[in-house]
Structure 1
Amino acid sequence: MADMKTIGFVGTGAIAEAMVHGLLAEPAHVSKVYVSPRNADIAARLAAKFDDVTVAADNQTVVDHCDIVVLAIRPQIAEEVIRALRFRNEQRIVSVIATMERQNLLDWIRAEIDLVQAIPLPFVADRRGVTAICPPNPEIAALFDTLGTAVQCESRKEYDLLAAASAMMSTFFGVMEWTTDWLENNGLDRSKGQAYIAPLFESLALRANEGHVHSFHTLSEEFATKGGLNEQVLSDFETKGGHATLVSALDRVLARIEGRSTDI
């Protein structure tokens, strides 16, 4: 435990809660966690579950006690909250604030610190999350590797592209819902449809994550037998607007992340 770090969260929302759960799961990756009192319910819940969680009196107490500080506040209040804090030179700061410019954060922090931006997803609670971080940082990458997998981005462009890709999550579940709707509309009990579709998609994701897989295209060909049913659905999706709609949606998300017009 001697070399383990103390981590603090300024802002205690859903992502902060998920990270705390992942970091303190056995074996714990950090020795102590401080959380701000802003969301009293979540803070109290974490303190009740984990002996190593302390609810700080205020945000400055979090900063004062921690080696690593995670900024997990809403973009609308970020400047007000961050400017009020006094950070130590060489302190490690991780920002999980969505769509926030790095230079703005540095201007508000006003200290010589290591700043890493990250996009953790809720699955970090189970140590199964994939997290994009920028710029590369071995210590912060190790932290997120504990929570699943860290992808270290060499540039803000890479980071923004992965942020755009993460906007696919709701659509993933949407496809599952639409397929279940179709099954139900054609006479299958909804509970049976859900019991079939969820494991099917899980198995496909596990297959895609195997180390020897070279590309998603290879998998698509593997599962699309020539003249078969999978090939038929893929062909319909590609030729009847599905592919183009997906690309357009991702282009518009990236434009929004980069602060450009989404009228494309």
Structure 2
Amino acid sequence: MPQHNHKDSAMRCGVVGIGNIGSAVATGLAKAGHDITISKRSAAQSQRLAKAFPNITIAENQHVLDHSDIVFIALNHDVAAAALTALRFRPDHIIISLMAGCDLDALARLVSPAPATTIMIPFPAIAGGGSPILVMGDAAPVECIFGDSDSIIAITDSAECDAFLAAQAILSPVAVMVAAAAEWVDQHGGDANKAEPFLRQLIASSLNGMASDDLIAALNTPDGFNQRLRLYFEEIGLKANVHDGLSRLSQVAD
């Protein structure tokens, strides 16, 4: 692992595959001041990034490898094998895979002679920093690059990874609840355009400030609005429905 810290010097990073997640990772890297080379997989995404950041260059996949020390693999599974086996990796490449369903043994066969030691599972918020990042295998490269800007969570094995990936799906229903609450405000004398950012900030700051159980206790004022709405949701099966929904995701994954 190159002994660099992005506070002190730029790293040469490549991103092979510029879909939504690859684009978010490239954005986070560029904002940190690293020298980034990205592939042409998605012309619209690649061109947008290159226009936004002077330290991002678009290139063919082999050129991405040739001009990078750290390579992020952000390809879809259905094209990964064909795309990677056509490339020439170096033994000194540091490979960070963003493909959660591709284990390290399988990845090693695709990127040889480079070692495959790290799987990183980022989320779209990595583009702006302050995002959680799941890591399996060697977390040191991810810590070195993103440790100052994001939260690194080490995952022990594929079972734990699958559970985390299922649980993160709670994000979309929470967003729906926020949108529904803002819509309700709009229907009852308020402005949805003000209500939604208010609710987003309220939820984000509150959950960042304390553990969920502590927050629930703090909002448990007898007959208060928060207690009454929570009890209503619990009465109609909130927890059971969450567990059931996550279990259905796990069954599909199995």
Q: Aligning the two structures, in what range does the TM-score lie when normalised by the shorter sequence?
A: 0.7 to 0.9
SS in 2 for 1:118: strand
Q: Is the contact between residue 85 and residue 111 of structure 2 (CA under 8 Å) also seen in structure 1? A: yes
Q: Is the contact between residue 90 and residue 114 of structure 1 (CA under 8 Å) also seen in structure 2? A: no
Counterpart in the other structure of 1:236: 232
Taking only aligned residues, the RMSD between alpha carbons, in angstroms, comes to: 2.2
Counterpart in the other structure of 2:249: 253
Please give the alpha-carbon distance, in whole angstroms, between the structure 2 residues aligned to 1:245 and 1:167: 13
Q: Kindly report which structure 2 residues correspond to 1:64-83, keeping only aligned pairs within 5 A, or say none.
A: 64-83=66-85
Report whether the alignment pairs 1:13 with 2:19.
yes
Please give the alpha-carbon distance, in whole angstroms, between the structure 2 residues aligned to 1:254 and 1:133: 20
SS in 2 for 1:254: helix
Change (3 A) 1:136 1:254: farther
User: 1:163 is aligned with what amino acid?
Assistant: L
* Structure 1 residue 194 displacement after superposition: 4.2
Q: Is the contact between residue 127 and residue 147 of structure 1 (CA under 8 Å) also seen in structure 2? A: yes
Q: Is the contact between residue 95 and residue 114 of structure 2 (CA under 8 Å) also seen in structure 1? A: no
Which has the larger displacement, 229-238 or 110-119?
A: 110-119
Q: Is the contact between residue 16 and residue 72 of structure 1 (CA under 8 Å) also seen in structure 2? A: yes
For residues 65-85 of structure 1, the C-alpha deviation after alignment (integer angstroms, 9 at most, x for no partner) is 211111111222112112222
* Structure 1 residue 247 displacement after superposition: 0.8
Please give the alpha-carbon distance, in whole angstroms, between the structure 1 residues aligned to 2:184 and 2:48: 40
TM-score by length of 2: 0.87
SS in 2 for 1:206: helix
Please give the alpha-carbon distance, in whole angstroms, between the structure 2 residues aligned to 1:198 and 1:100: 37
* Structure 2 alignment gaps of length 5 or more: 1-5
Please give the alpha-carbon distance, in whole angstroms, between the structure 2 residues aligned to 1:177 and 1:45: 28
Q: Is the contact between residue 179 and residue 196 of structure 2 (CA under 8 Å) also seen in structure 1? A: no
Please give the alpha-carbon distance, in whole angstroms, between the structure 1 residues aligned to 2:222 and 2:240: 23
Q: Kindly report which structure 2 residues correspond to 1:50-89, keeping only aligned pairs within 5 A, or say none.
A: 50-56=53-59, 58-89=60-91
Counterpart in the other structure of 1:145: 147
User: 1:122 is aligned with what amino acid?
Assistant: P
TM-score by length of 1: 0.84
For residues 165-223 of structure 1, the C-alpha deviation after alignment (integer angstroms, 9 at most, x for no partner) is 221221111111222343445x435xx1341243234223212213xx3x311110111
Please give the alpha-carbon distance, in whole angstroms, between the structure 1 residues aligned to 2:26 and 2:142: 15
Q: Is the contact between residue 22 and residue 127 of structure 1 (CA under 8 Å) also seen in structure 2? A: yes
- Report percent identity of matched pairs: 25
Q: Kindly report which structure 2 residues correspond to 1:89-238, keeping only aligned pairs within 5 A, or say none.
A: 89-185=91-187, 187-189=188-190, 192-210=191-209, 213=210, 215-238=211-234
Please give the alpha-carbon distance, in whole angstroms, between the structure 2 residues aligned to 1:38 and 1:102: 23
Q: Is the contact between residue 6 and residue 67 of structure 1 (CA under 8 Å) also seen in structure 2? A: yes
Change (3 A) 1:99 1:239: farther
Please give the alpha-carbon distance, in whole angstroms, between the structure 1 residues aligned to 2:218 and 2:102: 40
* Structure 1 alignment gaps of length 5 or more: none
